[in-house]
Amino acid sequence: MVDLWHRGSRFDEIRLYVEGYLACLRHSSSIEPYLIHRLEEEIFRFLRDPSNFEYLSPQTQTQTEADYGYY
């Protein structure tokens, strides 16, 4: 889901993708319904948390060296 976000998909598109995936799981009966329900709850909890979609810039080498006192 985060990959879809970084590729430029909007929240509604990701939600539709997830709903389609869950519908396929329900239709195929590949796992128990209560597991699908738990997965659905976890997915929507993940989607509602904005911290999951923040872009974190990687630390540069100079920042890491300065943090540990290496010069």
Query: In angstroms, rounded to a whole number, what is the distance separating the alpha carbons of residues 19 and 16?
Result: 5
Per-residue pLDDT reduced to its tens digit, 10-54: 777 888 888 999 999 999 988 899 999 999 999 889 888 888 777
Residue 8 lies in a domain: yes
| pTM score, whole prediction | 0.61
Residue 70, pLDDT above cutoff 70: no
- What residue numbers bound the domain in which 18 lies? 2-51
Buried b (16+ CB within 10 A) or exposed e, 24-43: ebeeeeeeeeeebeeebeeb
Residue 62 lies in a domain: no
For residue 67, what is the enclosing H or E element? helix 61-68
Residue 19 lies in a domain: yes
Residue 65, pLDDT above cutoff 70: no
- pLDDT recorded at residue 23: 93
State the total domains in the chain: 1
Residue 25 lies in a domain: yes
- pLDDT recorded at residue 25: 92
Decide which of 47 and 65 is more confident: 47
Residue 71 lies in a domain: no
